[in-house]
Amino acid sequence: MQKIKKIILADFDGYCLNKFLKLEQPSWTKVFIYKMIRKKNITINGLKIVDIRHKLKEGDVVEFYGCTTLSKPTKLESLKPLRVIFESENLIIVDKESKMPVQEDDKHPFNNMNNRLLKHLNYSKEEGWKPVFIHRLDLNTTGLLIGSKNYQTFLKLNAAQKGLKIKKSYKALVHGHIPFKRREISCFLLKKDGRVSISRKQVEGAKESKTIANFLQFIPSINSTLLELTLITGRTHQIRAHMSYIKHPVRGDQKYGVEKDKKKFPYPALCAYRIEFSEDIGLEEVRGKSFQTNDIWFEKAI
């Protein structure tokens, strides 16, 4: 290892030190980064730093000992191109297909939406902050994703999500005939071992969840109802768990329901089809605008 000196660019203003070090040294584990910081092996502007979440500022000089030899570059050019719905200097909205994870995992370390975004933007490590999608969709959930091209936009989009200034609507095909035109579904979700359990009352570790469900169409031939669902909160598997909770599970969902027609519905009939931005979101290019996809696979099946 040798001494490395980095000057913080505007894109990293407000970025956490531990995340910056992970970006600079991908082989470093979280434990190793914390150890390096706590042992005062990292300096900023000549001062030793012990706070792992120290916020960087533009112009800061960060010095540490690390590896300057880059690992073999990943061949991003082999990945499929993105289906772009909208793109500006700061952000991008794309349409995700099924069987495609947003983030890397043990089964998909390379072929994922985040890496496809890097390919689309011709990203190189020297550019600094790594563009990323700001939210997730389940592996087999199709639909719209918002990606940030720089850190400042990432912060604004995250704040907008928390402030409920980004409205996300889904379409879903569910079992049975829905007896209502509109309903707010509210309960508590507890995540454990890759799925969530549902409770009417608050229990330790559970988080409140709310979804607005609107009736669109009943299809008698397959005894199913098409719904529009708008998230008030954004919990893991929220819509799928909520539909199971009201005894109308999503077609094709084997985790929270039972699907007999696996040929027609091989995975959950759920699509994040529409995104709306409020007038006060703070990003001029999407202020007051909405975007949607009409490529909804299960609507073609009915």
Closest of 158, 155, 162 to residue 15, by C-alpha: 155
Which of the residue ranges 1-10, 18-27, 140-149 has the most confident prediction, judged by mean pLDDT? 140-149
DSSP helix, strand, coil percent of the chain (3-state; round to 5): 20, 30, 45
In this structure, which amino acid lies at residue 184?
E
- Chain centre to alpha carbon of residue 275: 14
Structural domains in the chain plus CATH codes = 2-66 (3.10.290.10), 76-91+99-162 (3.30.70), 166-301 (3.30.2350.10)
Output the CA angle 265-266-271, nearest 5 degrees.
70
> What's phi and psi for 160, nearest 5 deg?
-65, -40
* pLDDT at site 298: 96
Contact in structure between 285 and 291 (CB atoms under 8 Å): no
Element (H, E) at 38: helix 30-38
CA–CA separation, 118 and 30 (whole Å): 23
Tens of pLDDT, residue by residue over 51-80, are 888 999 988 999 998 876 544 445 788 899
Single pTM value for the model: 0.81
The whole-chain average pLDDT of the chain stands at 91
